[in-house]
């Protein structure tokens, strides 16, 4: 069963402030610990690695926006301990309520924070007491650039595949594939991702970001790449 199939009821969000929180990666991270599960304020703060007073401010905000609710109160010595949960397991936001002008703009806005995290992780994987330089060359399809450490002029990203190297990788390729081959690649990527999702261990401290994307290029973008090759004498 997929996560989508497990949602029994969908909550339609109309409030512009609530929509902003759900669509903002910076704000939505404080909502995520309560989505589909119960947690105390302290538990949520521990999950996110933030201070309790920071989490308290966010919980009050989420309550006011009616995105979470108190589901139980445990009374004992000291202050009562409240458990919070999202008001639904799934939320629907009408696109007209989003601030972005187009779906593409919304995609790029939400993708930016994850791309930033990926970039930081890649640089940390080959970090050291050195500067950086860029290597620019043809990859057979057009201009290609990559960053390399100054103290390793012959460095190749394949060195990251060594057993003692961090589990980091990045590629941004353009492939000319038949429809059958492109669909086969799509299925292979989806199957590989599902296999490792099954190995997910919530108690493992280290988190890896995995960002997959596959799409047929829009004609104008493809023409731009071909123009680059012609300008290079290709």
pLDDT 10s digits, 72-108: 998 878 788 999 999 999 999 877 777 665 777 777 8
pLDDT at 79: 84
Q: How far apart are the two ends of the chain, measured CA to CA in Å?
A: 49
When pLDDT is averaged across residues 41-70 and rounded to a whole number, the result is 96
pLDDT at 6: 77
Name the packing angle between helices 41-48 and 52-64 (round to 10°). Answer: 120
pLDDT per residue as tens digits for the range 155-167: 887 888 889 888 8
Range of the domain at 144: 103-231
25 and 133 assigned to the same domain: no
Q: What is the CATH number of the domain that holds 61?
A: 1.10.10.10
State if pTM tops 0.85.
no
Residue 139 binned pLDDT confidence (cut-offs 50, 70, 90): low
109 and 221 assigned to the same domain: yes
89 and 113 assigned to the same domain: no
């Amino acid at each position: 069963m997929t996560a989508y199939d497990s949602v029994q009821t969908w909550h339609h969000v109309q409030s512009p402030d609530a929509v902003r929180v759900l669509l903002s990666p910076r704000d939505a991270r404080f909502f995520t610990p309560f989505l589909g599960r119960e947690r105390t304020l302290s538990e949520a703060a521990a999950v996110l690695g933030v201070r309790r007073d920071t989490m308290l401010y966010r919980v009050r905000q989420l309550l006011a926006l009616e995105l979470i609710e108190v589901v139980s109160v445990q009374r004992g010595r000291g202050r009562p301990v409240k458990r919070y949960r999202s008001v639904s397991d799934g939320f629907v936001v009408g696109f007209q309520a989003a601030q972005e002008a187009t779906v593409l703009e919304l995609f790029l806005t939400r993708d930016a924070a994850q791309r930033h995290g990926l970039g930081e992780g890649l640089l940390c994987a080959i970090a050291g007491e050195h500067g950086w330089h860029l290597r620019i060359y043809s990859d057979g399809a057009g201009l290609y650039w990559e960053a390399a450490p100054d103290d390793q002029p012959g460095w190749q990203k394949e060195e990251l595949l060594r057993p003692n190297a961090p589990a980091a990788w990045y590629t941004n390729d353009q492939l000319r594939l038949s429809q059958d081959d492109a669909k086969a690649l799509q299925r292979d990527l989806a199957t590989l991702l599902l296999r490792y999702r099954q190995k997910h261990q919530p108690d493992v401290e280290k988190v890896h970001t995995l960002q997959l994307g596959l799409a047929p290029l829009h004609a104008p973008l493809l023409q731009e790449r071909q123009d680059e090759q012609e300008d290079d004498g290709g």
